[in-house]
């Protein structure tokens, strides 16, 4: 029997129709028709073509899916949890979810993959903590007939033929878009415009690629990149990194930050009495959206994690039911990145990016 292994953590919550806690388009989360969705179909040579993606109406049988993600420390991964679990409910499949507790916990995620295989699952959707660290396990799962679908934290591992499909976003593009937006805001200032970056965890492919994209965008400009401060995406770690940077550099004109760092930055700047420092994000949370709306942040990007995780679950079911026959292996999709500014947020569908208010993680959908 064809089997699929989906590694991702998820949460289930029945929500009818409510409005997100920020101004913008009203959204109904659970049960909402989220399709057709604009995504990029990526060929093996990197060529991208925009298509409209619509999911299956319902699974043909109650497939058994295992889902794993790196952690649940921030709203981003909670949004991923919500999307994958809500989609599992809509499709009518069983899902068991695991989280590794952080990007440093490779042994735990490897053990969780073993647990999934021992449960005789049909599918794994995986948001990896380390691409190089999990590829051997992914190949082992694939050899057992399990369909593996990569999700979110994927750049190289998922190009392996052991993976059936994957949905991610180019963090290089996210970083590059953020750099271009910041550069446009300071283009008339005299050099140097001193910037410190807070891209995320050291060694994580997504944060490293985000940093590379940002650096490329601001190269040969009036922006001087003082440092890239890598660290775990827990709030305490990111706050400490910002506080250390404020002590180390007398003149900082702007901060480029992942969502958690952007969330804690305004308070850190206020306590340090450092005024006039711009904040440019490159991933979004409900809190940072409010900062953009209030003018505390220039703007940010969203890879639409709820949409991303919904598509990942649907791809797993499609693979199980033979719907991806004729598609390249691995089949690669990317959501169209949303650039969030005060103006664009007025009509943005928050349900593509955020879990419902007060969403609580749930680890089993039966």
Which domain CATH number covers 273? 3.40.50.2300
Please check whether residues 130 and 51 belong to one and the same domain: yes
Tell whether 164 is covered by a domain: yes
How many domains does the chain fold into? 2
Tell whether 192 is covered by a domain: yes
Please check whether residues 73 and 134 belong to one and the same domain: yes
Please check whether residues 206 and 249 belong to one and the same domain: yes
Give the per-residue pLDDT at 30: 56
Tell whether 105 is covered by a domain: yes
DSSP letter for each residue of 54-112: ---SS-SS--EEEEEES--SSHHHHHHHHHHHHHHHHHT-EEEEEE-SSTT-HHHHHHH
Please check whether residues 9 and 134 belong to one and the same domain: yes
Tell whether 276 is covered by a domain: yes
Please check whether residues 12 and 120 belong to one and the same domain: yes
Please check whether residues 239 and 252 belong to one and the same domain: yes
Tell whether 96 is covered by a domain: yes
Ramachandran region, residue 273 (left: φ > 0; alpha: ψ -120 to 50; beta: rest): left
Long-range CB contact pairs, 111-120, < 8 A, 24+? 112/7, 112/68, 113/5, 113/7, 113/68, 113/137, 113/138, 113/141, 115/66, 116/5, 116/7, 116/66, 116/68, 116/141, 117/5, 117/141, 117/144, 117/146, 119/64, 119/66, 120/3, 120/64
Give the per-residue pLDDT at 109: 97
Tell whether 190 is covered by a domain: yes
Tell whether 181 is covered by a domain: yes
Please check whether residues 141 and 28 belong to one and the same domain: yes
Please check whether residues 262 and 224 belong to one and the same domain: yes
Give the per-residue pLDDT at 45: 87
What tokens were used for 357? 């208010």
Tell whether 160 is covered by a domain: yes
How wide is the angle at C-alpha 203 spanned by C-alphas 197 and 204, nearest 5°?
85
Please check whether residues 187 and 234 belong to one and the same domain: yes
Distance (Å, rounded) from C-alpha 260 to C-alpha 24?
A: 22
> How would you class 131 by CB atoms within 10 Å of its CB: exposed for 0-12, middle for 13-18, buried for 19 or more?
buried
Question: Are the C-beta atoms of residues 324 and 304 closer than 8 Å to each other?
Answer: no
Distance (Å, rounded) from C-alpha 40 to C-alpha 308?
A: 12
Which residues are CB-contacts of 37 (< 8 A; sequence separation ≥ 6)? 52, 53, 54, 307, 311, 335, 352
Please check whether residues 159 and 23 belong to one and the same domain: yes
Give the per-residue pLDDT at 31: 57
Domain that holds residue 297: 171-302
Choose the final residue of a domain: 244, 276, 302: 302
What does each of the 366 residues of the chain score in pLDDT, given as a tens digit? 334 444 333 322 222 222 333 434 334 455 578 999 999 999 988 899 999 999 999 999 999 999 999 999 888 899 999 999 999 999 999 999 999 999 889 999 999 999 999 999 999 999 998 878 899 999 999 999 999 999 988 654 557 889 999 999 999 999 999 999 999 999 999 999 999 999 999 988 889 999 999 999 999 999 999 999 999 988 999 999 999 999 999 999 999 999 999 999 999 999 999 999 999 998 898 899 999 999 999 999 999 999 999 999 999 999 999 999 999 999 999 999 999 999 999 999 999 999 998 888 878 888
Please check whether residues 248 and 120 belong to one and the same domain: no
Q: For the chain, what's the residue count? A: 366
Instruction: Kindly state the helix (H) or strand (E) to which residue 123 belongs, with its residue range.
Output: strand 123-126
Question: Are the C-beta atoms of residues 230 and 199 closer than 8 Å to each other?
Answer: yes
Which residue, 109, 94, 9, 68, is CA-closest to 320?
94
Distance between the two ends of the chain, CA-based, in angstroms?
Answer: 21
Give the per-residue pLDDT at 160: 86
Residue 92 CB: number of other CB atoms within 10 A? 15
Choose the final residue of a domain: 302, 328, 357: 302
Please check whether residues 319 and 268 belong to one and the same domain: no
Question: Are the C-beta atoms of residues 158 and 166 closer than 8 Å to each other?
Answer: yes
């Amino acid at each position: 029997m064809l089997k699929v292994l989906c590694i991702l953590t998820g949460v289930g919550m029945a929500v009818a129709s409510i409005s997100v806690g920020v101004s913008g388009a009203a959204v109904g989360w659970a049960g909402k028709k989220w399709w057709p969705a604009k995504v990029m179909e990526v060929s093996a040579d990197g060529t991208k073509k925009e298509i409209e993606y619509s999911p299956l109406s319902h699974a043909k049988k109650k497939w058994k899916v295992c889902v794993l993600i790196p952690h649940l420390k921030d709203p981003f991964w909670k949004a991923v949890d919500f999307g994958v679990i809500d989609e599992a409910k809509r499709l009518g499949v069983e899902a068991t979810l695991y989280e590794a507790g952080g990007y440093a916990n490779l042994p735990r995620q490897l053990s969780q993959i073993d647990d999934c295989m021992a449960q005789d699952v049909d599918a794994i959707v995986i948001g990896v903590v380390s691409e190089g660290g999990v590829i051997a396990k992914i190949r082992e799962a694939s050899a057992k007939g399990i369909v593996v679908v990569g999700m979110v934290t994927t750049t190289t591992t998922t190009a392996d033929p052991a993976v059936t499909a994957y949905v991610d976003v180019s963090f290089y593009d996210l970083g590059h878009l953020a750099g271009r937006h910041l550069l446009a805001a300071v283009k008339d200032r005299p050099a140097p415009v001193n910037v410190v970056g807070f891209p995320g965890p050291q060694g994580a492919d997504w944060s490293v690629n985000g940093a590379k994209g940002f650096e490329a965008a601001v190269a040969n400009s009036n922006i001087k990149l003082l440092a890239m401060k890598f660290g775990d995406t827990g709030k305490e770690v990111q706050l400490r990194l910002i506080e250390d940077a404020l002590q180390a550099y007398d003149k900082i004109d702007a901060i480029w930050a992942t969502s958690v760092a952007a969330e804690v930055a305004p308070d850190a700047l206020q306590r340090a009495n450092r005024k006039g420092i711009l904040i440019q994000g490159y991933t979004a949370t409900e809190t940072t959206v409010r900062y953009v709306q209030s003018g505390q942040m220039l703007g940010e990007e969203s890879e639409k994690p709820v949409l991303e995780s919904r598509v990942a679950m649907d791809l797993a079911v499609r693979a199980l039911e033979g719907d991806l026959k004729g598609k390249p292996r691995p089949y690669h999709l990317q959501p169209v990145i949303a650039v969030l500014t005060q103006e664009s947020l007025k009509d943005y569908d928050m349900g593509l990016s955020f879990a419902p208010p007060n969403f609580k993680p749930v680890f089993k959908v039966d």
